[in-house]
Structure 1
Amino acid sequence: MIRHIVSWKLNGADAAARAEQAATISATLAALPAVIPQILSLQVGTNVAYPENNWDVVLVADYESLEDLEAYQVHPDHVAATHVIRPLVELRSAVDFEA
């Protein structure tokens, strides 16, 4: 199994703007398991502590194989989601590992 973890630091000017951005990202990503069969599980979390140091939003998703992760990456619904998310992001970090 491949675990895909992505963290985002958002570019909103204040906490309220970042909260709205986080809600948009969460809703966008939460819709993907219904349309992308390669996703075994997907969880999105919004940071609740130490906002000056921590990233704002995290995605944790599981795939059966690296090939399934790669299919997810190019799936049209995932590509559309990236077009929603990218304008909201200051920094992005990702790790993919065998779980």
Structure 2
Amino acid sequence: MASLTVQFTLRRYVARAYWTAVVMVSVFGTMAADVLHIGLGVPFAVSTPAFLSVPAAVFMLWYPSERTLSIHSIQTRRREAFRWAAALATFALGTAAGDLTATVG
């Protein structure tokens, strides 16, 4: 993901780079959930709990490593990597859970 590479090289907030990375991470997260379901035939009832475990794992690794989950303290590349991993996992979870509720409800 070129947009994340650019984001990681910047040492200050650049709106265009940041929001491009947000859009690309959201698209990739959505595609991850859809590829599992459409491409591999994994039911949403299976992928949703699986995707629920991913952000949980990110947070379970992030907090002991950094002793904070505050977005206001993201000043290192490692913390930024945790933030983007959490965002990606959240988009995938949101897509899987949203599609699950749309098809079941």
TM range (shorter): 0.3 to 0.5
Provide the TM-score with structure 2 as the length reference.
0.33
Q: Compare the two structures and name the one with the higher strand fraction.
A: 1
Report the structure, 1 or 2, having the larger helix content: 2
Q: TM-score, normalised by structure 1?
A: 0.35
